[in-house]
A and B are shown apart, each in its own frame.
Chain A
Amino acid sequence: MARGKSAGPAGPIRIVNAADGRHLVLEGNVGAAHARALQEVARELAGAAGPVRVDLGELRHIDCAGIQVLLALDETFRQHGQAFTLESVPPGVQATFRNAGLDSFC
């Protein structure tokens, strides 16, 4: 995934403006404390046109509160017929999704 200038809140959640569109980048540990910030960023993305990619390459851990926001974002994009994909999902995070019954999500 092409990297570009980052915007949005500091910490584990970033929006990156790349040549191929806007990316949501999640890094490190995304827990309940970040869920509201994630929701703000997700709302911003949901209002923009074009596909959204969520880069989880550097994500070490995400909890249920964070996953809920991603699920809601996914649903919003589906309703608007927009593409929404998770990319570079680390094996540990994949296992978390699998154990939560959300394998199809990633």
Chain B
Amino acid sequence: MQLDMERFRDTFFEEAHEHLGTMENSLLQLDEQGSDPELLAGIFRAAHSIKGASGTFGFIAISRFTHVLENVLDRLRNGTLATSTALTRLLLQATDQLREVVTATQRNEPDSVSVTGTIDELEAVLRAGGGDAAAAHAPVHAAAAPVSSHRVRIAFEPTADFFLQGQDPLLLLNELAGHGRDVRVVCDRSRLPDLITLDPETCYLSWTVEMDTTSDERTLREVFMFVEDACRLEVTMAGGAAAPIAGGAEATAATAASPAARPPGEAVPAPAARSDRRAGADRRMESTSIRVPTEKVDALINLVGELVIAQAMVNQAVSVFPQAAQLDEVMAIVQRSTRDLQEQVMAIRMLPIGTVFNRFPRLVHDLGAKLGKRVRLDIEGADTELDKSVIEQLGDPLTHLIRNSIDHGIEDPEVRVAQGKPDEGTITLRAFHEGGNVVIEVRDDGKGLDVALIREKAVQQGLVREDAVLGDEEIHQLIFAAGFSTASVVSDVSGRGVGMDVVKRNVESLNGAITVHSETGRGSRIRIRLPLTLAILDGLTVRLGSDVFIVPLLSIRQSIRPKAAEVRTVLGGQSELFVLRGEQLPLVRLARLFQVPDAVEDVERGIVVVTETDGRRIGVLVDDVIGQQQVVVKSIESNYRRIEAVMGATILGDGRVAFILDVAELQRVTTRRRTVDEENGHPAAGAAEPERQEEMA
């Protein structure tokens, strides 16, 4: 068997980042609620895992740094060091640097990050003798009586496939040696074959270690806690019986009672500390899940998409047979099973939104401290699932929203107290399912949007006319306009005027929608509505000549059969406007854009589908509306080539390919063509009709 270390290497980096996330979040919780053995054990385990695996791969920079960090965590865990805000800050700093080292190692530049300063600080904490760092993190048990040491014997026999599990016994022996003095290690090489028959990926060695130690049995066993299922382990304390481990079941069945208190002959039970129970739970989790490359899942989804299309085609084909009635029942079963299969396969790509929410406690913690504000982040619905591709693109928009809430929404503590609010502001990040979509809310209890200021700035920036009559809700929406900002000073937190419009564009690129609701003095709520997945889309099927197109349902405001008088020609006949209840919308004839030859020319025989994106509406003229349907989105770019104003394609039940419109790009194409026409000397709409031009603005 060839050991595919590259595959393990990728897995190591994935897992290291997960462990770092766990460390970061647990440290933040520690900062809030003070010392908690469960949290400390979790942080220690995460660091320990990174150290162990990094050593296996020879990532020395990671394992050296983590070793020092782990020593500090170990002392926190066993109570010889007290938690404090200063120490938590140092550990967060160390976590950040460790993440940098991991990332640099991933890029094969492990030495590009200098961690000397942080290591010095951590070692100063460990020395706990003199110096600032040591003074800041004084040991709790400095005056405690010295613990007496005892002789211990540990027999350790890794399983033959130990290396294949990414483990290295030497790292465990190194760690074990750190627990004692007068360490005597005997290596049993009796099973090692000759060089010719040796399989380099099989572990043939085993060890017996004897040493004087002050560590208890539980602590010694924790050295092996991640390999319990991959070794035979016996720990014999001086004067006591051996407590063997040959797999997880026996390890968790025993207890940590004192050897002296046990009747002679009774097996020494293994420890039942909370950390061990957690380790057991983690192992159970691991055994019920597997890591699969995203490409494999995508290939599966693609195949199921093809199957859904094929099933629809079969359905349509058999419907013309005279015996169709007899096939109805069978087809219904096939259809149901196909739909179930599709749902199950789509569910594989679903991830809990907590994977992106988890990055925000740190952001809120750091930004609040930077701005001198007290801010608490409440997270609700972190288990809500969304497609992986949607989740991956949510990070930036949510970061913008939360930064804005802290910078502009939450008031300074003294201002809040003066207004009768608690000095600590609250931002709530919430996710929930609603009507087949996922809704994400960012809510704060700050000062709310300043309607007068937004309006004033919008007028100054030429976004609205001075005499425009706008309701509060309409004014709130102006925060999403490109380049809009109410900040008078540009800071590195926000106020660059490139925040909310980018958020809106990002959300719309995910086929989502964003709204804002605000009450002066009580706070704001921004709501993002997203489809569960990008692979399936709810669309309106429309006909153009003999072709069919799909318009994403989320972009559609209404469909209307126009009268000839409602369509006006402008720009020297190059463009048309559709007048909808006094509002003039650019009208796009899809047939002309896509050069469909046999489409209707007479507008009264067609339908105008009114779409809206980025706050702007356009009318799209089609021949007819066929109906709504859910379609499987296929990339047209990877299968054919990029087509302007088309986001993808789908295959219909009759086998025909239908383009799916990219409404946002259609909007941009329309605007661009109008601009080119104007530059070519054609009169703009408003040039002929000033009143309309103002409305367009």
Contacts and interface: CB of A to CB of B under 8 A. Distances in A.
B56 A101 contact: no
A39 B168 contact: no
The CB with the most chain B CB atoms within 10 A, among A38, A63, A96, is that of A63
A64 B169 contact: yes
Interface in A50-82: 60-61, 63-65, 67-69, 71-73, 75-76, 79
A31 B5 contact: yes
Contacts of A73: 195
Contacts of A28: 58
B664 to A, nearest CB: 47
Given A64-B168, A68-B192, A29 B60 contact: yes
| Interface-central residue, B189, B195, B196, B209, by most chain A CB under 10 Å | B195
A3 interface: no
A68 B205 contact: yes
A67 B60 CA distance: 18
Contact of A36 (B2, B56, B196, B207): B2
Nearest to B175: A99
B173 interface: yes
Contacts of B186: 101
A33 B3 contact: yes
A61 B58 contact: yes
Interface in B178-225: 183-187, 189, 192-196, 198, 200-201, 203-205, 207, 209
Contacts of A61: 55, 58, 60
A68 B198 contact: yes
A99 B170 contact: yes
A32 B189 CA distance: 18
Nearest to A46: B195
Size bracket of the B interface: 35 or more
Interface string B1-44: 01101000000000000000000000000000000000000000
Nearest to A42: B195
Contact of A63 (B58, B185, B192, B195): B58
B200 A36 contact: yes
B617 to A, nearest CB: 59
A19 interface: no
B226 interface: no
Contacts of A75: 192, 194-195
Contacts of A7: none
A77 B2 CA distance: 27
Given A33-B5, A43-B196, A61-B60, A71 B189 contact: yes
Nearest to A95: B174
A23 B478 CA distance: 75
Contact of B201 (A29, A32, A99, A100): A32
Contacts of B432: none
A99 B172 CA distance: 10
Contacts of B184: 101
A31 B56 contact: yes
Contacts of A102: 187
A72 B207 contact: no
B170 A67 contact: yes
Contacts of A67: 170
A35 interface: yes
B113 interface: no
A82 to B, nearest CB: 13
B224 to A, nearest CB: 15
Nearest to B5: A33
B56 A63 contact: yes
Given A33-B3, A39-B198, A68-B200, A100 B170 contact: yes
Contacts of B192: 68, 71-72, 75
A99 B58 CA distance: 17
Contact of A101 (B193, B196, B207): B207
A43 B198 CA distance: 11
A10 to B, nearest CB: 16
A75 B194 CA distance: 7
Given A101-B186, A102-B187, A72 B193 contact: yes
Nearest to A45: B195
Contacts of B189: 71
Interface of B: 2-3, 5, 55-58, 60, 163, 168-170, 173-174, 176-177, 183-187, 189, 192-196, 198, 200-201, 203-205, 207, 209
Given A32-B168, A100-B187, 10 more contacts: A36-B2, A39-B200, A63-B55, A64-B205, A65-B168, A68-B198, A69-B195, A99-B174, A99-B177, A101-B184
